[in-house]
Structure 1
Amino acid sequence: MGDYAALIALAVVVLFVAVVVAKSVTLVPQAEAAVIERLGRYSKTVSGQLTFLVPFVDRVRAKVDLRERVVSFPPQPVITQDNLTVSIDTVVYFQVTTPQAAVYEISNYIVGVEQLTTTTLRNVVGGMTLEETLTSRDSINGQLRGVLDEATGRWGLRVARVELKSIDPPPSIQESMEKQMKADREKRATILTAEGHRESSIKTAEGDKQSQILSAEGAKQAAILSAEGERQSRILRAQGERAAKYLNAQGEAKAIEKVFEAIKAGKPTPELLAYQYLQTLPKMAQGDANKMWVVPSDFGDALKGFAKNLGAPGDDGVFRFEPSDQGETHSKPEDDSAEVADWFDTKTDPAIARAVADAEAVARKPVDTSLAAAPNPVRDSAPEPAKSVEASLPDGSGSGDDAPRELDR
């Protein structure tokens, strides 16, 4: 019986020692702080270490998490300045910096932060309209953070930031806003469509204007070149006709001279002249206009008079042609072959060829597309083709009166 009592006493002592050891040693992990009281009063704060306590004298009042915490509060109804109720969700980022203040200054700092956030949010949003509330999140976040950080400083807390997670207006307001946004988008679409049509019409009109300007410019250049070509063609044709007439006249003069020389050298008799006269009479009757041909009755007398005028009677009484005195000198046409030698030159005039080449170069030159930007494109650029053609004429004067005179050279 005595042994049994001794075992019980030993077990009690061992249990007491275990309790004493358990109450005298505590392990506080990193990022946590333990607030220790001695005989019910604050003693010290330890963090991240093994701490020895006086048994039955010291005790751990509370352990506080020193990490930054994120607390999301449920939606809170808030009335805006224009008397609309919106539901706002908030998220608060805070950290305990003074564990003993968080333990002794407030009983539950999370509830305190929640209530303080709600009241501050209602004060801030109550001074804004719905539109300002929806578009001023950064401003609301900044005001909430400033008020919360100042109010929770004595609780040993540091508010890092406050975010509005969502702002939900009433369903009727959401429907009205959607209609307003839809109408606004349709309005902008209509404006943009009208603006596009206006720009398109302007561009089309501008293109038509440039096209008409270029067409008119091309027609004017073509007319100038055509007129210049016609003028040159007439000048060259007149020169050719002049040379041809001169050659015809010169040829007829030479032919008449040769014929009369042959007649003089042959000494024809009146019979030959009569024979030639008879051969010529049928030719006189040819032609559609000749309806009747009359042979004169005194044909023989005419031949006699013709023979007497051209000849002299011989020993046999026959009239024969007597040539004029051979010593008599007859004036011949003046030889002007040296003066008209260049009339028969068939080579192209270099000055004319150069003028045609310049005109073709002007015609093939690309037209500047910036005519619309100039004050008066037609007035400023129209004379260029004519200037190029006229400046290339032989004398360089460019006048229509001087060019033919130079070509008649």
Structure 2
Amino acid sequence: MPTTLILLAILLVFAIVVIMRTVRIVPQQTSLIVERLGRYSRTLEGGIHFLIPFVDKVRANVDLREQVVSFPPQPVITSDNLVVNIDTVIYYTVIDSRAAVYEIANFIQGIEQLTVTTLRNVIGSLDLEQTLTSRDQINSQLRGALDEATGRWGIRVNRVELKAIDPPLSVQESMEKQMKAERDRRAAILNAEGVKQSQILTAEGEKQSQILRAEGSAQARVLEAEGQARAIKQVFDAIHRGKPTQKLLAYQYLQVLPQIARGDSNKMWIIPSELTDALRGIGGMLGKGENDPGQMDSEEFVEVAEPESSAFEALALPDAKSALEEARGQAARSTKEATAHSAPVSATQPPIRPAADAVPPPPV
């Protein structure tokens, strides 16, 4: 009884082993290389397959997905005799499992050594600056050379990337200084552009401000001139409506004369000849005495369209003798003030006074 159980157990184990060696389930994107009695028999793709136990043998399990291999830094000499360390990354795919197994013993090691030799050939024809700035060109040349060499191994190189290019420390310091100088130059240019734009905007603002101030000043002057013109016209109309005589105008001029001489900007002032004529007329009138009042009104008045006597009555002289004395006193004070304000003129010319024969003395 125990012997029978042992035989049954052995048969069961043998059956399980036979089944396991006969039935093979291959995953997707995987291939199995099968040898029969030591020779290549077939390649199994994804799915379920049956083998002859103890006759067929699986030689290799090949992954058909894209593989990534990173190689350690390799020292490479450029055309200007500088040693740089370059890290490379290879992206490849197995397209022929049989060739990958039987054409080369270790295709990963073969790709690495081929990458090193190809990289040295490519970098040896470039200087350091071209090496640093021509990564795409280097990648393209490496991929073309590796793909051509690995094609017979059943390997397709999809991409070759340079992870890092490390120049010598002395060159790195020089490059850092150069980059710093370049950044400083760009910063100076940007700063100058900013200052330029700021000055342009400031100048434009000042220009607009000056234009607006000039326009405002011009408008103010125009309005002021128009106001002065209206005021002069109103004064002129009021004087003519009052029918002034030449003597009355001379008296008003004598009243205004001290104010003219009192100004700081007036260095010299002139007494018109009409004033002496008016004073001569007033003196002649006073010389005839007060018994001839008609002489005051014998002078012709200014003809106007609308005769009005209010302004003339307001400006009429109450007493001719006292008016003459007041006019002489004001003329003397004005002459003294004008002489004090215009020293250079008074040093060379005597103060201007009415002629003695033009204004007769008042009767006693």
State the TM bucket, normalised to the shorter chain: 0.5 to 0.7
Q: Secondary structure at the match of 1:163?
A: strand
- Corresponding residue number in structure 2 for 1:129: 127
The 2-side partners of 1:10 and 1:217 are apart by 122
Structure-to-structure mapping, 1:255-404, within 5 angstroms: 340=306
Offset from partner CA, 1:252-299 (integer Å, 9 cap, x none): xxxxxxxxxxxxxxxxxxxxxxxxxxxxxxxxxxxxxxxxxxxxxxxx
How many residues in Structure 1 have an aligned counterpart in Structure 2?
Answer: 252
The 2-side partners of 1:60 and 1:119 are apart by 34
The 2-side partners of 1:218 and 1:14 are apart by 117
- Corresponding residue number in structure 1 for 2:79: 81
Aligned counterpart in structure 1 of residue 238 of structure 2, from 237, 240, 246: 240
The 2-side partners of 1:59 and 1:342 are apart by 145
- Corresponding residue number in structure 2 for 1:350: none
The answer to whether the Cα contact below 8 Å between 1:239 and 1:343 also exists between their aligned partners in 2 is no
Q: Which amino acid aligns with 2:127?
A: T
The 1-side partners of 2:152 and 2:308 are apart by 122
| Bigger shift: residues 49-58 or 166-175 | 49-58
Q: Does 2:201 match 1:200?
A: no
Aligned counterpart in structure 2 of residue 189 of structure 1, from 184, 187, 190: 187
Q: Secondary structure at the match of 2:243?
A: helix
The answer to whether the Cα contact below 8 Å between 2:242 and 2:308 also exists between their aligned partners in 1 is no
The answer to whether the Cα contact below 8 Å between 2:95 and 2:154 also exists between their aligned partners in 1 is yes
Gaps of 5+ in 2: 245-302, 311-364
Gaps of 5+ in 1: 247-335, 345-409
The answer to whether the Cα contact below 8 Å between 2:122 and 2:141 also exists between their aligned partners in 1 is yes
Q: Which amino acid aligns with 1:142?
A: S
Aligned counterpart in structure 2 of residue 41 of structure 1, from 18, 39, 42: 39
- Corresponding residue number in structure 2 for 1:32: 30
- Corresponding residue number in structure 2 for 1:231: 229
Offset from partner CA, 1:98-123 (integer Å, 9 cap, x none): 11111111111111111122222222
| Bigger shift: residues 198-207 or 38-47 | 198-207
When residues 188 and 4 of structure 1 are mapped into structure 2, their CA distance, relative to the original with a 3 A threshold, is: closer
- Corresponding residue number in structure 2 for 1:104: 102
User: Which aligned segments of 4 or more residues in structure 1 are displaced greater than 6 angstroms?
Assistant: 3-18, 341-344
The 1-side partners of 2:162 and 2:308 are apart by 105
The answer to whether the Cα contact below 8 Å between 1:28 and 1:49 also exists between their aligned partners in 2 is yes
Q: Does 2:176 match 1:178?
A: yes
Offset from partner CA, 1:99-155 (integer Å, 9 cap, x none): 111111111111111112222222222222322222322332222222222322221
When residues 4 and 189 of structure 1 are mapped into structure 2, their CA distance, relative to the original with a 3 A threshold, is: closer
The 1-side partners of 2:133 and 2:66 are apart by 28
When residues 240 and 105 of structure 1 are mapped into structure 2, their CA distance, relative to the original with a 3 A threshold, is: same
- Corresponding residue number in structure 1 for 2:117: 119
The 2-side partners of 1:96 and 1:86 are apart by 31
When residues 32 and 227 of structure 1 are mapped into structure 2, their CA distance, relative to the original with a 3 A threshold, is: same
Offset from partner CA, 1:42-101 (integer Å, 9 cap, x none): 211002233322344322221111121111111111222222211111111111121111
The 2-side partners of 1:342 and 1:42 are apart by 144
The 1-side partners of 2:160 and 2:29 are apart by 23
Quote how far apart the aligned CAs of 1:34 are. Answer: 0.7
Superposition RMSD in Å: 3.4
The 2-side partners of 1:25 and 1:219 are apart by 108
The 1-side partners of 2:24 and 2:200 are apart by 87
- Corresponding residue number in structure 1 for 2:137: 139
Q: Which amino acid aligns with 1:171?
A: L
Q: Secondary structure at the match of 1:240?
A: helix
The 2-side partners of 1:117 and 1:342 are apart by 122
The answer to whether the Cα contact below 8 Å between 1:34 and 1:62 also exists between their aligned partners in 2 is yes
Aligned counterpart in structure 2 of residue 221 of structure 1, from 195, 200, 219: 219
The 1-side partners of 2:32 and 2:81 are apart by 48
The 2-side partners of 1:219 and 1:14 are apart by 120
When residues 29 and 197 of structure 1 are mapped into structure 2, their CA distance, relative to the original with a 3 A threshold, is: closer
Q: Secondary structure at the match of 1:173?
A: helix
Greater relative contact order structure (CA < 8 Å, 6+ sep):
2
When residues 208 and 29 of structure 1 are mapped into structure 2, their CA distance, relative to the original with a 3 A threshold, is: closer
The answer to whether the Cα contact below 8 Å between 1:74 and 1:89 also exists between their aligned partners in 2 is yes
Aligned counterpart in structure 2 of residue 91 of structure 1, from 89, 92, 95: 89
- Corresponding residue number in structure 2 for 1:71: 69
The 2-side partners of 1:225 and 1:343 are apart by 32
When residues 243 and 39 of structure 1 are mapped into structure 2, their CA distance, relative to the original with a 3 A threshold, is: same
When residues 191 and 21 of structure 1 are mapped into structure 2, their CA distance, relative to the original with a 3 A threshold, is: closer
The answer to whether the Cα contact below 8 Å between 1:89 and 1:165 also exists between their aligned partners in 2 is yes
TM-score, length-scaled by structure 1: 0.53
Quote how far apart the aligned CAs of 1:6 are. Answer: 10
Q: Which amino acid aligns with 2:102?
A: Y
When residues 181 and 9 of structure 1 are mapped into structure 2, their CA distance, relative to the original with a 3 A threshold, is: same
